[in-house]
Structure 1
C-alpha cells in the first residue's frame, strides 16, 4: 500500500511541475484507475440508500413516511460510525477464524478506500430490517438493533466469508454478498418480525388482508435507483478496474435483474390472472439479489436463468411468508433478500463455470454453499433473536395501538410527510364563519356555495 501511495504522489508531481517530474509507470496508472473505480462504486452503493427509502415509504402507508425516511438516514449515519469504530476490525482484523481482533477505528489500516466501500455495504445490510418492521416498531428499538447489526452481527458474518474466516477456507463463494449482506439482513428481519407481530388489521383469523402502499410510483423510482446502484454494488466488488471482469459482472447483473422482472410478471399473470405491479417491481430486486453471489462466476445465460428462477420463487416466497407463516413484511424484504439470497448462493454451486454441478464440477461446491448458508442463518437468527428478546423484555419494541393507528409520523415525530392545505374563504358579505366539520362536509358545502355563486351571476 505504501508503494501505491508513493506512486500516486509521483504522478501528482508530474502534473504540477516538470522540475521534479517522475516517470509515470503502468503500476501507478493502474492503481489510480482501480482506486477511482472503487470510489465511484462506493458512491453508487451509498446512493442505494435513497432507493431503499423510496421503496419502503412507497410500499407502506402515508402516515409512516417520515418515520421510514428518518430510519434510513439514521441507519447509514450510525452504521458508518459503528463500522468505523468496531465493525471493520471485527470483519477484516487479524483472523482467528471467527472474528477479527485488530484494526478498530482503522488503527494500522492504510487502505481507507477499501474501508469506505465496505462501510456502505454494512449499512445496506442493516437497512433491510427497516422495511420489514415498518409501521409498528419503536424507533429507539430499531436503532439499537442497527447498532448491533453494523457493529457486531454483520461483521462476524463478513469475517467468516470475506475476512479469511472458516467459511472462506472451505471454498465458499459469495462475490458481492447474496449471503453476507442480503441473507444476513433478511434473517435479522425475520427474527425481528417474529417477535414484533403483524400490523393491526393484517390478519383476521385465517383471512389475510392486503394493506396497500400509498405511493407505488415512488416505490418504482426506488427500484430503479437500487438497480442503478447495484452496478456499483456488484461491479465495485471486483476491487479493481479490470477491463475483462467488470463488464461481465455488470452484464450478469443487468440480465439477472431483467430475468427477475420478466419471470415475476409472467408468473403473477399465470397465477393470479393479472400482472401484479408491486411484486413485479420486487422481481427486479429478487433477480439482483440472486445474481450477487455468482455475478463473476457464471455465464450470461446462467445469469438469465438465475434471474428467471428468482422471479418465480420470489412470488411463492412472499405468499409463503405472508399466508402460511403469517409474518407481516410490508415491503417483501424477507423474501427478496432472504429467499432469493439463499437461491443465489446455492446457484453458484450449479452455474459456476469452473466448479459448478452443471459444468461437470460435481456437487462439492454446492455442498459448501449450503454449509455457508446454514451457518449464517443460525448465527444471525440466534443473535438477532437474543437482542430483540432482551429489548422486548426490557421495555417493549412495539408502539402502542393508538400510536400505530395514528401513524408513526405523528406518534414518534409530531409531524406528517404530507399536508393537505385547504383554502376555504368564508362569505364576508353574510359575515359567515369559516367552514367546519369533516373534510367531506366542507367540500360538500363548498360545492353548494359554488352553485349559489353561479345562480347569482346569471341573475346579475
Structure 2
C-alpha cells in the first residue's frame, strides 16, 4: 500500500514536467515545420532540393580542397630533395593566399552581375564578399556560402599549376605576390567571362563546364609566362643538351596523382551545380563515370606513347601526367560524351602530354613537374573538342575563348612577373639555388640525410 501511494505521489509530481516537455516538443515541431514550409516556399516547394544542392557544393568543395594535397605530394615528389620542404610549404601558403584574395575581391569579380564594362569584358564589382544571408529567402537554389566555398577551392587549383612549373628557382615572397594577383584578379576576370555571364558567355556561347580553360589553361598560361621570364634552373640546359634532374620521390608523386584523380570527381561532378532531382543525380553520376574513363584513357595512351618513343621504356612521371592530362581534357565537357568518347578524349590528352614535354625542352622552357603540357595543352584540347559532343557550342566560340584567355593571362602575368623581377627580384642567387631552397629560404630540410642530392 505504501509503495502504491509513493508511485501516485511521484506520478503527480512528474506529470506537470511531462506535460511541459511534451508542449515544448510540439512547439519545437511546429517551429521546424514553419521553417520547412518557409524554405519550401522560398525554393519553389522543394526544401530537399535546396539541401541537396548545398550539400553537393560543400562535399564537392571538400573533395576539391583535397586536390591541394595532391598537388603538394606530386610536386614534392617531382622536385629534388633539397627543394621538397620549400615546395610543400608553397602549396600550403598558396592555398591560404588564394582563399584570402578570393574573399577580398575575387568572388565578386567572378560573379559581378551587371557591374561590368565593355560588354562584359571587365567586371567592376570590387570589394569583399559580404557573406550569405542566412534567411531562407536569400537564395532560390542553395546556401550562398556553399557556393562561395566551392568556387574558392577552384582558384587555388590555378595557383598550384604555377607553383609546380616554376619550382626550384623562385623565392617564396615574389611567388606569393604573384599568387595574390592571380587569385584576386586574373582568374576571377577570366571566370566572369563564362561562369559570371560575361563576354564569352553572352556573345560567343562559349562552353567550359568545369574549367579546362577557365581554371587549367589560365594556370597554364600564367605558368608558361613565368617559366619563360624567370628562366630555367641552373644547369638544366647546356647548349642543345638537356640535363635530366630527376624527382626525389616517385612514390610520393604517385600518391599525389591518385589524390588528384580522386579530387577530380568533386571538381567535375559538383560542377553540375544541382543535385535536387533524379535528372541531376543521373548527370552527376555520368560525369563521375566519364571523368574516370578519361583518366584511364590518358594513362594507357601515355604508356603506349612512351613505349613507342623511348624504345620500350616507360616513364612513370609522364604516365602520371597522362592521367592528369586526361582529366583536364574531359573537364570542359564531362557530361555529354559517351564513355567510349571519354576514353578517346582522355587518350588524346595523354599523348599530348608525352609529346609536349620534349617540345618544351627544345625551346628551353623548364617545366619542373610537366604542368604546362597537362594543364595548358590539354586544357586547350579539351575546350576545342567540346562541340563534337555538345551541339550548343561552336568551334569559333571555343577558339575565341581559348585565344582571349591566353592573351589576357599572358599580358597581365608578364607585367607582374617583370615588375617583380626588376624590383624585389624573383630568383635566388646561384649559390642558394645550388644549395637548395629548403636551406636557403626555410633553414629546414625535408630529407636531411639526402640534402645534397
TM-score, normalising length from structure 1?
0.84
Separation in 1, partners of 2:415, 2:132: 32
Q: CA deviation at 1:99?
A: 3.2
Give the structure 2 partner of residue 144 of structure 1: 177
Q: Is the 1:63–1:408 contact (alpha carbons within 8 Å) kept by the matching residues of 2? A: yes
Distance 1:320 1:151 in 2: 32
The match for 1:217 among 228, 243, 251 is 251
Cα deviations across residues 246-281 of structure 1 (Å, max 9, x unaligned)?
A: 011111100001000000001111111211111011
Q: Does 1:74 align with 2:93?
A: yes
**Preserved CA contact (<8 Å) 1:103 1:109:** no
Q: Is the contact made by 2:211 and 2:332 (CA closer than 8 Å) also made in structure 1?
A: yes
Pick from 348, 358, 363: which aligns with 1:325? 363
**Residue in 2 aligned with 1:236?**
270
Match of 2:426 among 382, 386, 397: 397
Relative distance call for 1:126 and 1:14 in structure 2 (3 A) is farther
Does residue 419 (structure 1) correspond to residue 448 (structure 2)? The answer is yes
Give the corresponding residue for 1:339: 377
For 2:261, the equivalent position in structure 1 comes to: 227
Match of 1:298 in 2: 337
Q: What is the alpha-carbon distance in structure 2 between the residues aligned to residue 377 and residue 267 of structure 1? A: 28
How far apart are 1:19 and its partner, in Å?
A: 4.2
Q: What pairs with 1:14-163 in structure 2 (closer than 5 Å)?
A: 17-22=28-33, 27-95=46-114, 96=116, 97-102=120-125, 104-107=127-130, 109-110=132-133, 111-163=144-196
Contact 2:112 2:123 in 1 (8 A): yes
Task: Tell me by how many angstroms 1:62 deviates.
Answer: 0.5
Most deviating of 106-115 and 297-306: 106-115
Bigger relative CO (Cα 8 Å, ≥ 6 apart): 2
CA-CA distance at 1:395 after TM superposition: 2.8
Q: Does 1:387 align with 2:420?
A: no
Q: How far is 1:14 from its partner?
A: 9.7
Does 1:288 find its partner at 2:327?
yes
| Counterpart for residue 245 of structure 1 | 283
Contact kept? 2:111, 2:196, Cα under 8 Å? yes
> Which 5+ residue runs of structure 1 have no aligned equivalent?
1-12, 357-364, 422-438, 440-460
Conserved 8 A contact 2:194-2:206: yes
- The secondary structure found in structure 2 opposite 1:244 is helix
Task: Give a deviation string over 1:407-431, Cα, whole Å, max 9, x none.
Answer: 000000111012339xxxxxxxxxx
Change (3 A) 1:164 1:269: same
Name the count of aligned residue pairs.
400
**CA distance in 2 between partners of 1:154 and 1:303 (Å):** 27
CA deviation vs aligned residue, 1:365-389 (integer Å, no higher than 9, x gap): 0111011000000000000001101
Q: Distance in 1 between matches of 2:246 and 2:364?
A: 17
Q: Does the alignment pair 1:267 with 2:305?
A: yes
Q: For residue 239 of structure 2, what is the aligned residue in structure 1?
A: 205
**Deviation of residue 210 (structure 1)?**
0.9
Structure 2 residues without counterparts, runs of 5 or longer: 1-23, 134-143
Is contact 1:14-1:21 (8 Å) kept? no
Q: 1: distance between equivalents of 2:101 and 2:244?
A: 37
- Equivalent of residue 258 in structure 1, options 285, 296, 299: 296
Q: 2:27 & 2:195 partners in 1: Cα distance?
A: 39
Alpha-carbon separation, structure 2, partners of 1:205 and 1:27: 66
Tell me if structure 1 keeps the 8 A contact 2:212–2:331. yes
Q: CA deviation at 1:298?
A: 2.0
Q: Distance in 1 between matches of 2:254 and 2:359?
A: 24
**Cα distance, 1:212–1:367 mapped onto 2, change above 3 Å:** same
CA distance in 1, matches of 2:323, 2:301: 10
Task: Write out aligned runs for 1:370-381 (5 A).
Answer: 370-381=399-410
In the superposition, the TM-score normalised over structure 2's length comes to 0.85
Match of 1:450 in 2: none
Q: How far apart, CA to CA, are the structure 2 residues paired with 1:233 and 1:335?
A: 20
Q: CA deviation digits over 1:166-215, x for unaligned, max 9?
A: 11111101000000000000000000010111111110111011110010
After alignment, is 91-100 or 291-300 more displaced?
91-100
How far is the alpha carbon of 1:219 from its aligned partner?
0.2
